[in-house]
Structures are given as C-alpha cells and as structure tokens.
Amino acid sequence: MDNRPVGLRPGIAGTALRYAALAVAALLFLLPFYLIVRNGLSTEADITSPEWSLFPSSLHWENIGELFTDPSVPMAHALWNSLVIAVLQTGGQLLLGSLCGYGLARIPYQHANKIFYLVVATLMVPAAVTFVPSFVLVSSLGWVSSLRGLVIPGLFVGFTAFMFRQYFLSFPRELEEAARIDGLGYWGTYWRIVVPNSGGFFAAVAVIQFIGSWNSFLWPLVIGQDEDSWTVQVAMSTFLTAQNVNIHELFVAAAVGILPLVLVFVILQRFLVRGVAETGIKG
Amino acid sequence: MTRRAGAFWLFVGPFLIGLLIFNYIPIGWSAYLSFFDAQGTVTPDTFVGLRNYADMLTGPFAQSLLTFSVFALFIVPLTFALALGLAVAVNRIRFARAFFRSVFFLPTACSYVVAAMVWKLSLFSGVRFGLANTVLDWFGQDPVAWLSNPDPPWYWVVLVTARLWLQVGFYMILFIAGLQRIPDSLYEAAYVDGAKPGWQVFRHITFPQLRPTSIAVLLLSLIAAYQAFDEFYNLLGTARGYPDFGRPPLVYLYYLALGQTQDYGHGSAGALLLALLIALVTLLQGRLLGLGRREA
C-alpha cells in the first residue's frame, strides 16, 4: 500500500499517465498470447495472408482435433512425453533436493560443511555450459533418445538442494524438538512433521520446476534424436524450420502447451511471486 | 559409522551420488577431452595440449563471443530499464495492481520456442505478411526482411524484443520485492526535507536503496545473455542450415560438438572457456559493483 506522505504521492495527472502507460504495455505483453490463439483457430491462408488482420476470417475449432490425429505431425505424442518428463523431473527433484537439503540443514555430521561446498560449487557452473560433457556421458551410457537420458541427468540440481537447505534452516526448531521427544527419528521428523508443514514452499518450488522442465529446450534437443522421444518444444522447433507444415497446427500445439501453465500461473500467482522474490530463481 | 552419520548419508547420499555422476564426472571428462583431438570419439588418444584452446580463441568461437557482446549491449540495459520502470509503475498504483503484475509476469510461463514461433511467423515474418511490416506500411515505409538479411542487421530487433518479452516480468518481480523492502520512514524524511515527488525522490531515495537488487538484476541478465540459445536457434535456424551471423557461443558449440563434425575436443575446450568467462565476469562485476559489501 502507498503509505507515503500525501505530498510525495503522484497527483491525478501523474496517476492517469501511469495507468495509460501501464495499459499500453499490458496490451503489448498480451498481444503474443492472443496471436497464438488467433493463429491456432485460423486457416493456413489467414495466417500467411499478405493482408494482416487482427481477427481471423472464421474460427476453426476443428484444428484442435486435427492436432491430435494428424500422423505427419506427432504433436500428441510429444505432449505426452513432455508431461511424463516434467512430472517425473519435478517429483524427483523435490524428493532428492528436499532430502539433501534437510540432511545438510539439520543432521549434525562432521563433514557436512565440505559436502555443502561440493553442492554449492556446482552453482558456479551454468547448466547450459555443461551440455557438451553431459551429452558425452549420457551417450556413452547408451541413453540417447530414451526417457532415462531425458529425465535422470536433470534430477540432480545443486540449486534445488541449496534452496531446500536454506528453507529448512529457517524451519521452526521447536516443532522438530517436540517430535524428537515423542521418539521420532530423523526420518520420522522429516516425513511426518517437516514435509506436511512445508506445503507452501514445496508447491512454489514444484510450480517453478515444472514450468522450467516443460519449457526446457537445449537438453531435450540434444538427447531426443529420434521422433519418438521428442518433447513438445523440440517437435515445435523441428516443424518451425521445416517446410510444408500446417502452421495452424503448430499454434494449436503451442496453445495446448501453454494453457495449463498459464492457468497454474494465474491461480498460484501470489505464491509464485513470493517464491521468486525470496529465492531469486528463474523458471 | 555412528547412527547420526548413517542418517546423514541416507538423506544426502542419493543426491550427492547423482551430483557426482551427472555434474562432476562430465565436467572432469570434458576437461580431459579438451586436451585431445577428439572427433567423434570420447576415448581419444591423440594428445594436443592447449591447441584446442588456442584454436577456439582465434577462430569462429571468438567471433561468437563478439556476437554475444552485441546482444548483451542491447539486452542488459533494456531489461534493466524496462523491468525497473514497470516495477515502479506497478508498485505504487492502488487499483488493479495484481492484474498488471500478472500480465507482465505471464510471459515467464511461455517457452522460448513458442515465443520464437510467434515472433517469426506472426510479428516479424517475411516480406509479405506480419504485423511489423504492416505497421511499417501504414507509415509508408518499405517492408523489411527481418531475419534473412544481415545487412542492415534488423534481426537484432527480433532477437532482443523476444527475450525482453520473456524475461522482463521476472526481473520486475525482483525489483518489486526490492521496492517493498524500502522503509516508508525514508520517504517521510524526504518529504520533511522538502524533496519533490517524482524524479527527485526516485533519484535520491528509491534508486540508491535498490542497489542490491540492481546488482542482482545486472548479473543475472548478463549471465542469462551468455547462455542464449533457444531463441537464436529457433529464429535464425532454417531447414537449410544456420547463418554465420548472429551465432552466440552456445549455438556455435552446439553445431561444433553435436553437428556433422562431432568435435568433442574443441567443443569441450569452448564450453570450459565459456564457463570460465562467466565465472570471471561474475566475480569482476561483483567486485566492481560492490557485491557482498555490507549495506549501511
């Protein structure tokens, strides 16, 4: 809220100007989303027409069904792959990252600090830079074009463990001490006390990881070398540069791909904003 | 092993083993490969010393670093200014604040591939159609071949606007969080001292108080620019191949190591150079801007 003294608040003209600027910016930010939907419901001819128009000449809802039945554009399968990968990766990261973070934050062990540095050191090396060495490793394991190759290397993200450690450090100790007096061990305390009381944090991390996993491109592009292992991002990219593809189907796929994320975004907006602001992480 | 140590390893062990296998081994292996002539093999036997590194620093990889520099020169200041402007504008309004914040943050949910599609096929598409050329036409200007022609380099407009749209909302949130940490008493004191609302207050109170956030935004957006791949690959790549112009470091490494040549030796050397460069810039920028300096 604006608690500044009256004299330091913008006047009516300033406020009006501010809203006008924000409204113009908002329209520009929403335009690409509108174009995705517009193109998805248009015909090929409408999209590539030399006459640009804001509205399609007619709406073609049957495009949605076409996306899932057209055998020449395996988008339905790619969407399924993306879903499986994103779910497995999000679940796996939450489990492994929270366990490691809890151990580092709460179990006194003489080498804990050294191991913490080992985790933090990986934050210094940007993930995108390691794709060449990671590809070399994964291909010598024979995991190219497989679900294992797409999911497993992405489970061990130093940043997730780091975030969970920081979060657990600020978890109220009294709750855990009560559990210890009741005879629970480390596992019991973690599983029955800490996890159920950390729903908000787990949810924020889950949403951010899910979006990141769903939208990731470089690694799936490198590993998904045959059509069966394409994710929706790789499939769209492949058709983006190819000739003779139904452009409207491409946009239907884009709309189907971002609709769930947009819904999650709108519903969990406050949550997400707080999560991002607190941790400074990127989706 | 004590019970405590056992519990520790039970919690930390699974993650740590994965970290060693999928982070430390690849990086170590890559460092090894970077000293060998490793084309199409990951168990090379021709040791070449530092030659791969020398090749990378004098060849097209150095050119790709230049491409990155041009990109960073546009994207970092623009991201900073736009994110800060939106944050200040959104933070102090009373009505529909959550709405505007959501709208600007929403593109963060979109993938670079989808953004590239819209930019390439609807906004900045070829000479005949596309919104940008239609707008140019309203003003009686000739249409522009946005992506296929390096001279003049209009493709930068496409690349930069796509990334701005995708990222500005994220940095705006960081600035909003920073703005909300500024105590109201500072503004009250400024009022008592006779500061005028608007620019004076922003210049002397708001902006200096945002210093830690500003440093974070500059660093994060610069590092993100180093790692640009998705939008370059999808906007400039075609069925016929990828043009030499507009090829940032990661795109170059991708084609070098995973394209026809499968040159893991040079690719590894390039990847390590890039990682080193990012670490160096982070440290240097942090030092220059006083990262880690205690706030008064």
Q: What is the ipTM of this complex?
A: 0.89
A-contacting residues of B 252-281, CB under 8 Å?
A: 253-254, 257-258, 264, 267-268, 270-271, 274-275, 278-279
Nearest to A233 among B107, B111, B227 (CB): B111
Q: Cα A267–A271–A273 angle (5° rounding)?
A: 105
Q: Which of the four pLDDT bands, split at 50, 70 and 90, describes residue A281?
A: very low
Residue of B nearest to A216 (CA): B111
Question: Which residues, numbered 207 to 226 in chain A, qualify as contacts with chain B under a Cβ-Cβ cut-off of 8 Å?
Answer: 211, 214-215, 217-218, 221-222
Among A27-31, A154-158, A279-283, B128-132, the minimum mean pLDDT is found in A279-283
Instruction: Tell me which DSSP letter residue B197 carries.
Output: T
pLDDT tens column, B210-241: 988 898 899 889 989 999 999 999 999 887 78
Range with the lowest mean pLDDT among A86-100, A171-185, A225-239, B191-205?
B191-205
Q: Do residue B258 and residue A222 have CB atoms under 8 angstroms apart?
A: yes
- CA distances A199 to A169, A187, A194, A203, Å, are 16, 17, 9, 6
Sequential DSSP letters for chain A: ---S-GGGS--HHHHHHHHHHHHHHHHHHHHHHHHHHHHHTS-HHHHT-SS--SS-SS--THHHHHHHH-TTS-HHHHHHHHHHHHHHHHHHHHHHHHHHHHHHHHS--TTHHHHHHHHHHGGGS-GGGGHHHHHHHHHHTT-TTSHHHHHGGGG--HHHHHHHHHHHHTS-HHHHHHHHHTT--HHHIIIIIITGGGHHHHHHHHHHHHHHHHH--HHHHHH--SGGG--HHHHHHHHHHSSS--HHHHHHHHHHHHHHHHHHHHHTHHHHHHHHHHH----
**Residue B199 CB partners (closer than 8 Å, separation 6+):** none
Candidates A32, A250, A276; nearest CB to B173 = A276
Q: Higher pLDDT residue, A16 or A44?
A: A16
**Tens of pLDDT along B20-47?**
999 999 999 999 999 999 888 888 888 9
A249 to chain B, closest Cα gap in Å: 12
Give chain A positions within 8 Å (CB) of B1.
none
List of chain B residues whose C-beta atoms are within 8 Å of the C-beta of residue A237: 113, 116, 233-234
- This prediction's pTM: 0.89
Tokens of B255: 């084609």
The predicted structure's pLDDT at residue A262:
86
| Averaged pLDDT, B157-168 | 95
Is residue B8 scored above 50 in pLDDT?
Answer: yes
Task: Reply yes or no on whether the pLDDT at A48 is more than 90.
Answer: no
Residue B127 or A201, more confident: A201
Nearest to B16 among A100, A153, A262 (CB): A100
| Token code pair at residue A163 | 């975030």
Please determine, for residue A280, whether its predicted confidence score (pLDDT) is greater than 60.
no
Mean pLDDT of chain A: 86
Number of Cβ atoms within 10 Å of the Cβ of A150: 27
pLDDT exceeds cutoff 70 at B127: no
Cβ distance B174 to A30 less than 8 Å, yes or no, reads no
- pLDDT surpassing 80 at residue B128: no
Encode pLDDT of B241-269 as tens digits.
888 888 999 999 999 998 888 899 999 99
A109 to chain B, any CB pair closer than 8 A? The answer is yes
Judge contact between B113 and B230, C-beta under 8 A.
yes
Average pLDDT over residues B110-126: 89
The reply to whether residue B111 touches residue A240, judged by beta carbons under 8 angstroms, is no
Average pLDDT, chain B: 88
Residues of A with CB below 8 A from B226's CB?
126
Contact present, B22 and A156 (Cβ < 8 Å)? yes
Question: Is pLDDT at A276 greater than 80 in this prediction?
Answer: no
Residues 45-84 of B with CB under 8 A from A: none
* Cβ contact, residue pair A126, B111, below 8 Å: no
Q: Which residues of A touch B189 (CB under 8 A)?
A: none
Rounded distance between C-alpha atoms, residue B175 and residue B169, angstroms:
10
- Cβ pair A125:B30 closer than 8 A: no
B17: pLDDT strictly greater than 60:
yes
The pLDDT of residue A283 is 35
Q: What pLDDT shows up at residue B296? A: 34
Q: In sequence order, which residues have a C-beta less than 8 Å from that of residue A259 and are 6 or more positions away? A: none
A vs B, Cβ pairs < 8 A, gives: 300
Q: Does A24 touch chain B (CB under 8 A)?
A: no
pLDDT at A90: 95
- Structure confidence at residue A119 (pLDDT): 92
Nearest CA in chain B to A37: B118
**What average pLDDT score do residues A217-223 get?**
94
Please check whether residue B118 is in contact with residue A35, taking contact to mean a CB–CB distance below 8 angstroms: yes
CA distances from B290 to A3, B214, B283, B286 (A): 31, 11, 10, 6
pLDDT value of residue B57: 92
Q: Do B134 and A18 touch (CB under 8 A)?
A: no
CB within 8 Å: A4 and B100: no
* Chain B contacts in chain A segment 68-87 (CB below 8 A): none
Q: Which of B146, B153, B148 is nearest to B124 (CA)?
A: B146
Q: Report the range out of A46-55, A151-160, A236-245 with the highest average pLDDT.
A: A151-160
pLDDT exceeds cutoff 60 at B71:
yes
pLDDT at A10: 64
Q: Do A132 and B257 touch (CB under 8 A)?
A: yes
Q: Chain A interface, mutation test: which of B15, B129, B170, most A Cβ atoms within 10 Å?
A: B15
Chain A within 8 Å of B184 (Cβ-Cβ)?
yes
Q: Lowest-pLDDT range, A84-93, A119-128, B9-18, B286-295? A: B286-295
* In contact, B91 and B173? CB cutoff 8 Å: no
Distances (CA, A) of B241 to A242, B30, B236, B237, B259: 11, 27, 9, 6, 11
CB contact under 8 A, A107 and B8: yes
